[in-house]
Chains A and B, each alone.
Chain A
Amino acid sequence: MVGLNEWLILSGILFLIGAVGVLTRSNGLILFMSLELMLNAVNLSFVAFSRFTGRMDGQVFVFLVTAVAASEAAIGLAIFVNLFRLQKSVDVDQLNSMGD
């Protein structure tokens, strides 16, 4: 049997990889994908908890989160598209017109 701890650790690792991606990739799209990965990592832990407690609420949460993630994708990509129109790039390293 795979223990809850293992599931959680897997979820955690994925989350952390996503975090590293957000931290390091200056390509906006890859950064964005990393964010999606983080949400998915959380989803995994929801499902794992659901499985280990027998409550299906966790799966409902995943359902809801998936919808949110899709929305996030739409919004995020729209923002990128808009930005690309202005900047001809989605490189976040080029984005510091503000800042001290």
Chain B
Amino acid sequence: MTKRGALERVLFYLFGGLAVLSSLSMVTRRNPLGSALSLVVAFLSLAALYAVLKAHLLFAIQLWVYAGAVMVLVLFVIMLLNLRESESRPQPLGFGRFAIATVAVAGVGWKALSVFAEQTGDAVTVDDSFGTVAGVGEVLFTRWVLQFEVVSILLLAVIVAVVVLVKRRA
């Protein structure tokens, strides 16, 4: 148990740290391409963390959907729009903007994280089906089937929406 616990801790700090660092990198890159690549790393780290949390299905989905589909889409758009050093202009609030934003966010974070920090509890023992396709699928298609259907409608709507937006003029 402790060994597993230690491993888990190592993995947590490894991927957690990676996620944080790559997120920071994403936020601070000047080039959107760099940001995008940093984000990919963050997504991958998160996928790893999902695995640590025994959410195997989500691990896969995270890889496919985020690291795969979404990021490809983003990169595609970046290429399409040929965006590079687009932030050369001075910003309305300049450097101050960064400082003020950080302070404000930190203020929120201080309060929120202190609440988080109070949380105790250990991971419960779970059966093998936990986090697997079968396990999640059973829950998804029984109790959450309505929501699932809603998502499908959402996707349909989004397809129409995107078409409306980007379709060339008839």
Contacts and interface: CB of A to CB of B under 8 A. Distances in A.
Contacts of B29: 30
Q: Is the interface of B mostly helix, strand, loop or mixed?
A: helix
Contacts of B123: 1, 4, 51-52
A24 B151 CA distance: 31
Q: Is the interface of A mostly helix, strand, loop or mixed?
A: helix
A5 B112 CA distance: 11
B143 to A, nearest CB: 7
Contacts of A11: 116
Given A10-B19, A12-B116, 14 more contacts: A1-B9, A1-B123, A10-B49, A14-B19, A14-B23, A25-B27, A25-B87, A36-B70, A44-B49, A50-B131, A52-B124, A56-B130, A62-B55, A75-B161
Interface of A: 1-14, 16-21, 23-27, 29-30, 32-34, 36-37, 40, 43-44, 47-48, 50-54, 56-57, 59-60, 62-64, 66-71, 73-75, 77-82, 84, 89-91, 93
Closest 9 CB pairs of A and B: A23-B101, A8-B116, A21-B27, A54-B124, A78-B165, A1-B5, A71-B158, A51-B53, A78-B162
